[in-house]
Amino acid sequence: CFFNAGMDRAVRDRRTLENDLRRAVESDGIALAYQPVLSVETGQITSAEALARWTHPSRGAISPETFISLAEESGLIDRLGDQLLRRACTDARDWPSHVRVAVNLSPLQFVSGGLVGRIRSVLEEVGLEADRLQLEVTEGLMIRDVERTFGQLEQLRGLGMQVLIDDFGVGYSSLSYFQRFSFDKVKIDKSFVDTIATSHTSRAIVQSVVELGRKLGMGVVAEGVETEEQMRLLLECGCTHLQGYLFSRPIAADAIRHLLARDSGS
């Protein structure tokens, strides 16, 4: 039966990939690329987002969406998350002190309960101030134990970290999150940026998020900005920060260090 044969192969492929990922995590083989985020007000880079990269020995680049969800499903996410956090904080130590590093957190990293303590000790060991670290969390986060997650975010924010809500406006959006937690910034999902030049609806949504941000004291980051036209419209809407290929793709640690040194005029 072709169907079953195909299924078998898919399951085997997955197991193999899972084992390869485990090996990569064990050998510290997942890299980070950094993408700058610019302040609209000053035109300067105010932060850089750390994005995970895995080059598989035979399959080449595997997308983070694929291997992060594999890590989540196979119980590797805490270990991988800690490893990437440590690397990001270590790299950020070499940056100008006004530039923050943004790290993406999986919702599952809030489940085990030890996250706050582990982030604290990484910062201490590496010697990075808490206010240099931004944490990006997605709305998917809230599906699980909402109160527990908010409790941990509250503690992290209390320590001086900024907390951003990522991919805002898609998935399990709920405006009631803003009643329970003060996010520092909102990242508007790329899908709205993609269509802002062609869709009045997208533009209206971006405008509304910016207005909400202004009223609640949250900056609004537009990600995935690729064209001048999109940039113009996003500025018109009042976004406070921009990120996207128009300014820079995610680049290696060495490259971002040089870019930041140049950008801050040193």
Residues that bind ligand C2E (CB under 6 A): 35, 50-52, 63-65, 68, 84, 104-106, 136, 166-167, 190, 223-226, 244-245, 250
Q: Which does 63 bind (CB under 5 to 8 A by kind): Ca ion, ligand C2E, none?
A: ligand C2E
* 104 lines the binding site for Ca ion (CB under 5 A): yes
Q: Which does 52 bind (CB under 5 to 8 A by kind): ligand C2E, Ca ion, none?
A: ligand C2E
**Listed residue (110, 139, 105) closest to 209, CA to CA:** 139
* 78 lines the binding site for Ca ion (CB under 5 A): no
**CB atoms < 10 A from the CB of 64, how many?**
16
Would you say 20 or 167 has its CB closer to ligand C2E?
167
Rounded CA gap, 159 and 21, in Å? 32
Cβ contacts of 28-33, under 8 Å, gap ≥ 24:
28/83, 29/54, 30/54, 30/67, 30/80, 30/83, 30/84, 31/55, 31/252, 32/84, 32/87, 32/88, 32/91, 32/253, 33/250, 33/251, 33/252
Q: Which single residue is written with the structure tokens 């944490």?
A: 135
* 139 lines the binding site for Ca ion (CB under 5 A): no
Smallest gap from Cβ 36 to ligand C2E, in A, equals: 10
Smallest gap from Cβ 3 to Ca ion, in A, equals: 32
Would you say 76 or 105 has its CB closer to ligand C2E?
105
- For the chain, what's the residue count? 266
Q: Given candidates 108, 136, 149, 240, which one binds Ca ion under the rule CB under 5 A? A: 136
Residue 164 · residue 194 · CB < 8 Å: no
Smallest gap from Cβ 17 to Ca ion, in A, equals: 21
Smallest gap from Cβ 256 to ligand C2E, in A, equals: 13
Smallest gap from Cβ 104 to ligand C2E, in A, equals: 4
Q: What is the DSSP string of 83-151?
A: HHHHHHHHHHTTS-TT-EEEEE--GGGGTSS-HHHHHHHHHHHHT--GGGEEEEEEGGGGGS-HHHHHH
Q: Which does 108 bind (CB under 5 to 8 A by kind): ligand C2E, Ca ion, none?
A: none
Q: Which does 240 bind (CB under 5 to 8 A by kind): ligand C2E, Ca ion, none?
A: none
Q: Which does 244 bind (CB under 5 to 8 A by kind): ligand C2E, Ca ion, none?
A: ligand C2E
**CB atoms < 10 A from the CB of 240, how many?**
19
Smallest gap from Cβ 168 to Ca ion, in A, equals: 8
Collect all residues with Cβ–Cβ distance below 8 Å to 236 and sequence separation of at least 6.
Answer: none
Smallest gap from Cβ 116 to ligand C2E, in A, equals: 17
# of chain residues touching Ca ion (CB under 5 A): 4
* 91 lines the binding site for Ca ion (CB under 5 A): no
Would you say 50 or 260 has its CB closer to ligand C2E?
50
Residue 25 · residue 71 · CB < 8 Å: yes
Could you list the residues that contact Ca ion (CB under 5 A)? 104, 136, 166-167
